[in-house]
Amino acid sequence: MRDWTKIRPAGHDGPYIPLGPFQLRLPGIHYKFEIYDYIQGLLMCAVCLSIIPILTENLGMPFEVALAIVVLNGFLYLWHTALGDPVVPGWITPAIPLIG
């Protein structure tokens, strides 16, 4: 197992790939896998995919178009975390099935 404290001393930026004004961080390479992030990702996928029936029935979209919109939304929703922003906005959305 990798000792992450030797990679990033306290108070310094973590490892990243410079990308213009951004710092690209890739999971598994620049930060370690955590079960809590994985569970949150599963909940976010379930919530995002649950809008597909609404898009197809109420708006009359074909399934493929609705799926493409949902996948693009999920990708763009989390893209900023790969560019160095440690905050995922809208954290309550995946929790709605749990607290509702």
Residues 63-82 pLDDT 10s:
998 898 888 877 777 777 77
Q: Which residues of 72-87 are buried (b: 16+ CB within 10 A; e: fewer)?
A: eebeeeeeeebebeee
Residues 48-61 pLDDT 10s:
888 889 889 988 88
Report the C-alpha gap between 50 and 7 in whole angstroms.
Answer: 39
Q: Angle at CA 48, nearest 5°, toward 44 and 51?
A: 150
Residues 17-58 pLDDT 10s:
888 888 887 777 777 778 887 887 788 778 888 888 988 998
Is the separation of the CB atoms in 34 and 45 below 8 Å?
no
Q: What is the pLDDT of residue 84?
A: 65
